[in-house]
Chains A and B, each alone.
Chain A
Amino acid sequence: SQQGEEDPQALSIQEGENATMNCSYKTSINNLQWYRQNSGRGLVHLILIRSNEREKHSGRLRVTLDTSKKSSSLLITASRAADTASYFCATDARTSYDKVIFGPGTSLSVIP
């Protein structure tokens, strides 16, 4: 299975702290994506990193990708209460861009 697995399953931090979530996957990929889901809402695309990239930034988000370890991390710096959500990594497979599989997610709580 290509499915990513996030770690930890749940994370609780104080506002202003950094939050780091990890994702591991099993098969070779073209791209890895991170999404956010607020409770009961749709998924919001955060960032996509391609297999030939090692690091990408978007605002307070930093994503790294280590294809040798088949792992990625999402760092949210200077967290805010509004960052409280579930975060999912999603991977395609080297043989198919069209089947993107989501991991089970990390539930992040940022305490004001």
Chain B
Amino acid sequence: EPEVTQTPSHQVTQMGQEVILRCVPISNHLYFYWYRQILGQKVEFLVSFYNNEISEKSEIFDDQFSVERPDGSNFTLKIRSTKLEDSAMYFCASSITQGNGYTFGSGTRLTVV
């Protein structure tokens, strides 16, 4: 069964540091997404990405956030200057087309100290 792979599984970073979360979507999928889930809270949409462009983003996804697909396999989320409130599980997802179910990765737990 194809999987979405996220690395690292857990990252601890100092407040103000830049962090890059990495994802390898399923190889024939064309649509990519980042979500986050603060502990005990709901799953929040951050951004969707298709054809090397952001197609939708939420209010959370401000100038501190960026996404990139630097090659044919990786999809990254960068947080430029982390804040304590960025501590959360970050989930990457991909789908083969629009309007289909997503396959989620296992998540990266980001802890900002």
Interface size class of B (residues with CB under 8 A): 20 to 34
Contact A48 B101 (CB under 8 A): yes
Contact A48 B100 (CB under 8 A): yes
Contact B98 A100 (CB under 8 A): no
List the 4 closest A-B pairs by CB distance, nearest first. Answer: A45-B101, A97-B98, A98-B48, A102-B43
Hey, which chain A residues are within 8 Å of B42, CB to CB?
Answer: 88, 102-105
* A96 CB to nearest B CB, Å: 6
Q: Which of B37-82 contact A (CB under 8 A)?
A: 42-45, 48, 50, 55-56, 58
Interface size class of A (residues with CB under 8 A): 20 to 34
Contact B56 A98 (CB under 8 A): yes
Hey, which chain B residues are within 8 Å of A45, CB to CB?
Answer: 101-104
Instruction: Supply 10 further A-B pairs (C-beta < 8 A) apart from A43-B104, A45-B102, A88-B43.
Output: A37-B43, A47-B101, A48-B101, A92-B99, A97-B98, A98-B55, A100-B102, A101-B45, A103-B42, A105-B43
Return the chain A residue nearest B54 by Cβ: A98
Hey, which chain B residues are within 8 Å of A102, CB to CB?
Answer: 35, 42-45
Return the chain A residue nearest B97 by Cβ: A97
User: In the complex the two chains form, what is the Cα distance from A52 to B63 in whole Å?
Assistant: 38
Hey, which chain A residues are within 8 Å of B111, CB to CB?
Answer: none
